[in-house]
Structure 1
């Protein structure tokens, strides 16, 4: 009987001690975090946004803070492509940030990175190529834009935008505001025919191209500024 009583008292003592430790941990966790260090090449992220994402997750101290939640909170920020969080004894966290690197504007209020992932920051930087297309077409449009830009560069035609409309027709935007209408079908052949003929077109009296309509079976039509442009039909 004495042995059982001692064991019961010991078990109660362990439970009570565990409860006391848990309440003390919740009120004042051991090893409180004193420093959060950020590193990475950051051009667009603001310090206040990083702090706001991290601070709510630091209540558990060095050992009790959920680094996964911290990482997820950071990666929820539009300009964060990837984050990693590491505990540093005795009172610090090290956070490495990979910032989004936009290579094009997508639609009206979004950007694309090199992996064709769409992200939506509060403000958009200027001077990026302008791409647009139906939902889930970002990768296709980005790839086609890069191909068309590379094809037209040797003939000194500078491409700054590309649109894929709801009917799956392509329109190329040039740096002078001109357009190349490729349509939906045989776009590679149409563009190749245009590129082959362009050196002869360049020999014409100097004019600024307004629209090159390549949607003809055996040729194309050119409109020059300030001639009135045609609708995409």
Structure 2
């Protein structure tokens, strides 16, 4: 449709020029006795008008032929690029595009196809384009999960919550588990997980589970079994301070610690894995249990 409008615009432009030169020709004809120059100019204008008329006729014919060619162009199925997709993703894409059936090269609704494909939860980005040899090509970039979000969703590196094409990909044991009652918390939880891993990775541990409660309390479980609970007040500062202590004065005690409660204004409480562990000196600012 856009190309048809462009051709019509060209034709209208030629017609406008014809009218302009015809008007000039009539002006020259109105005063034929002024000079021979007027007569020569009038003839030139007339000749130019005739040329423009021929161009308009040719363009009009080309437009008609082009429109008929577009209308009579054979319909072809969409070309789906599936090489970068899993079997489940490929089947999902085929199902989504099936209603479009066979499409014409110029008549295909590229925007409509793009909207349908982009609406698939597991699709990060989509491309729909025309190719003179293959026809209309559809390609997508799938989201790459970096974490489980609850039990029904996954989370990508951009903090986008999505449903995978294959439900068996849910609750992947190789991914960190994030839990929250609201998908709007996903981005904040992703950033928090990245910060926690940055601070605690020098200790040789990484976050395995992270839960954010409705009261904005964080529950973090590390891959070595250590559990940390912290409230919403000065959360980052408390976690960073804990990582520094565990890397320094409490380094030897780390394997013996079961959990740490940071919900205190001054210091924190430690629960030990076994009884009989010597308590740390009070000058560390710790509350032990």
TM-score (norm 2): 0.61
Q: Which of 173, 177, 199 is the equivalent residue of 1:130?
A: 177
Q: Which of 137, 155, 158 is the equivalent residue of 1:112?
A: 155
Q: Which of 157, 180, 188 is the equivalent residue of 1:140?
A: 188
Instruction: Decide whether aligned partners of structure 1 residues 91 and 197 sit closer, same or farther in structure 2, where only a CA change above 3 A counts.
Output: closer
1:111 to partner: Cα distance: 1.0
Counterpart mapping for 1:167-206 below 5 A? 167-198=215-246, 199-204=248-253, 206=255
Q: Does 1:48 align with 2:77?
A: no
1:84 to partner: Cα distance: 0.8
Secondary structure, aligned partner of 1:93? strand
1:37 and 1:192 map into 2 onto residues whose CA distance is: 48
1:147 and 1:36 map into 2 onto residues whose CA distance is: 43
1:39 to partner: Cα distance: 5.3
Contact 1:132 1:164 in 2 (8 A): yes
2:110 and 2:78 map into 1 onto residues whose CA distance is: 14
In structure 2, the gaps of 5 or more residues are 1-67, 276-289
Query: What corresponds to 2:108 in structure 1?
Result: 65
1:87 to partner: Cα distance: 1.8
The higher radius of gyration belongs to: 2
Contact 2:205 2:224 in 1 (8 A): no
1:53 and 1:105 map into 2 onto residues whose CA distance is: 25
TM-score (norm 1): 0.75
Contact 1:31 1:90 in 2 (8 A): no
1:200 and 1:49 map into 2 onto residues whose CA distance is: 54
Which piece of structure 1 moves more, 133-142 or 52-61?
52-61
1:40 to partner: Cα distance: 6.1
In structure 1, the gaps of 5 or more residues are 1-20, 228-233
Aligned residues: CA RMSD: 2.5
Higher helix residue share:
2
1:205 and 1:157 map into 2 onto residues whose CA distance is: 11
Instruction: Decide whether aligned partners of structure 1 residues 219 and 205 sit closer, same or farther in structure 2, where only a CA change above 3 A counts.
Output: closer
